[in-house]
Amino acid sequence: MKTGNPLLCASAAPFGAPEFNRFTLEDYMPAFRESIARTREEVDAIAACEAAPDFANTIEALEYAGRELSDLEGIFFNLLEAESDDRMQEIAEEVSPMLTELSVYISLNKSLFNRVRTVYERRSGMDLSREQERLLEKTYRHFTRGGAALQGEDRDLYGKWSEELALAELQFSHHVLSATNAYSLHLTDPAALEGLPESVVEAAAHAASLQGKDGWCFSLQYPSFAPFMKYADRRDLRRELYMAYHSRAIGGEYDNTALIRTIVGLRIKISRLLGYQTYADYALEERMAASCARVDTFLDALMQASLPRARAEVRELEEYARSAGFDGGELQPWDFSYYSEKYRKDHFDLDEEALRPYFRLEDCVDAVFSLAGSLYGLTFEERKDIPVYHEEVRVFEVRDADGSHLALFYADFFPRKGKRGGAWMTEFRGQYACGGTDFRPFISIVTNFTRPTPDRPSLLTHNELTTLLHEFGHALHGMLSRGTYPSLCGTEVARDFVELPSQIMENWAYEPEFLSRFRHYQTGEPLSSEDMRKIVAAKNFQAAYLQVRQLQFGLLDMAWHTLQALPDEGTVDFENRVLAPVRTLPYVPGTAVSPSFGHIFSGGYAAGYYSYKWAEVLDADAFEWFREKGIYNREVAGAFRKNILERGSSEDEAVLYRRFRGRDPQPEALLRSQGLL
């Protein structure tokens, strides 16, 4: 029988939404202990079932086991990323081994696996739907990939190493957040602010006041870091901030260099134990790319098409910088954004800061909602009666064209000390169906947009608008899901497919028909056709350089995860050796990407960072059809919704794309969209 723990009680909030206003930190551990115990009981009951194993009493029963625990994890781990503190981290470090132990207990349960294997071996004689076939296949593979076939000491090693890996990944994320929060560039001399736009200075003054300081404070959070690197005239300060950002978690209290070797070493041992040559071989088995060779070929083809052009772009920028008075020798990484912005203004007459007043956050949100309405008939109504975990979070009820309820959409826009950097979509509950009930999802996007000040609303750059569209695309994937089984619904798709719904949305940020709705927040003047032309013209500015930068991340990821043994050199030296052949800017000693590369060391993208580029091919190919038929074409949007957004992973992702497009994607579409052909 359930206790009175508010995390485990049925919610009285509308739609059963989480009652954040009732939870306390001290509720979590008792809730996890109770829910983990109940999940074990459910699993044991399935394993001990006296009836002959079939799809319903084994595969389906296992799929729905532990739903209470899944909801609890959805609350706690999302708040750990968005509204964390030291106590939350302590709880995470205590509960993570417990959850890993449960996962290992399930995957190594011999009786349970025997039932799953029996159903799998008899599948040809069963009258299963495509979705049921998919669930059976994934469940069986989950067990074999989770060590179910291991024997004796190997089973014990798998459990031990899995627990150690989960804890190391958690510590990695905590170190990055702590290292980011530990740094602040505090300036008191107004001369140090030369070049910075008024909005950036105002935000820095506000940040200083919140810390009880005079002057201006700049942090390593993106809305503070990026504008400083782009506009600050003081080269020495740009260098200082650059070094702080790119040496995060290298040495000191929050060192991740040794932790990376622990993580990679454990991944090597686990994958070898399971019969895979490398961790990448293990990870790619369940992705569209399927093999290391295919990923390597994909990355290499794009690199060969882009690297010469990227280096030419850097040389061109260096020549421009010298013509603009730069005399500091070779152009350094802390110079790149600064002179790129000046080049952009000179050649495209495009000043992103001057355009901020046209992209007030509230107007951007309205525009994105309107786009979803035009494409899919959705409407959004803000709900003040639904609890939130922070006063700045907003909640919207999402309805379909027929007025039926689809989802709750949470939006958390601004940086805080307890929130990690970047932007992401997540869910407090994913969509699924059970017992004749369609459980609609609770979807959230979390960003770190420029915070409003007492004198100015939150004004986004065009790049931040693009980020909003990207994360909202992920949100649509979750909100529009129409599946049955939780592990096949919404964004539970192959890692190299999951970015398609998000990246395709970015295209509208460069369409004049979409941009024409934006107006200056003070004067009401619409964004001029000339400004729109400049935005579109500048879309592919330094496209090759930016592509190579993403490819470098993908190559680094694959280098770490195709290792069969830890390298002799240290973390920073290993990274430098891997990236040296494809660098476009000078290497700066003491800096590295890996120690703060959360995507691959704590964020689920291990041997999967290439997927951003893989999905860009899909999105470029898909958007060509929109452009051909009209960017608001309901027929194309309907096909995208029916075959992609609603289907999750109910069928092979390549089949779903082929059904939408009528053919396989054409890789040339990406190079065409970037102007690189």
Report the amino acid identity of residue 410: Y
Report the amino acid identity of residue 108: L
What are the Cα distances from residue 272, in Å, to 158, 169, 288, 314, 571? 10, 19, 22, 42, 22
Identify which of 413, 410, 411 has the alpha carbon closest to the alpha carbon of residue 450. Answer: 413
Please report how many Cα atoms fall inside a 13 Å half-sphere around the Cα of residue 261, on the Cβ side.
14
* Alpha-helical runs (H) found in 377-528: 462-479, 500-506, 512-515
48 Cβ contact list (under 8 Å, min separation 6): 111
Cα 375 from Cα 645, distance rounded (Å):
12
Residue given tokens 């960017």 in the structure block: 631
Identify which of 354, 363, 367 has the alpha carbon closest to the alpha carbon of residue 528. Answer: 354
- Residue 403: how many other CB atoms lie within 10 Å: 7
Dihedral sign, Cα of residue 345, residue 349, residue 352, residue 355: positive
Q: How many residues does the chain have?
A: 677
Cα 252 from Cα 183, distance rounded (Å):
13
Cα 489 from Cα 477, distance rounded (Å):
9
Cα 634 from Cα 371, distance rounded (Å):
11
Cα 13 from Cα 228, distance rounded (Å):
43
The one catalytic residue in 131, 313, 471, 575 is: 471
367 token code pair: 């525009």
Cα 370 from Cα 446, distance rounded (Å):
20
Cα 11 from Cα 17, distance rounded (Å):
6
Largest CA distance in the chain: 82
Helix (H, G, I), strand (E, B) or coil at 261: helix
Identify which of 154, 164, 135, 158 has the alpha carbon closest to the alpha carbon of residue 146. Answer: 158
253 among known catalytic residues: no
State the DSSP code for 255. Answer: -
What are the Cα distances from residue 303, in Å, to 299, 323, 549, 553, 584? 6, 30, 10, 12, 12
Cα 637 from Cα 397, distance rounded (Å):
21
As annotated, the active-site residues are 471
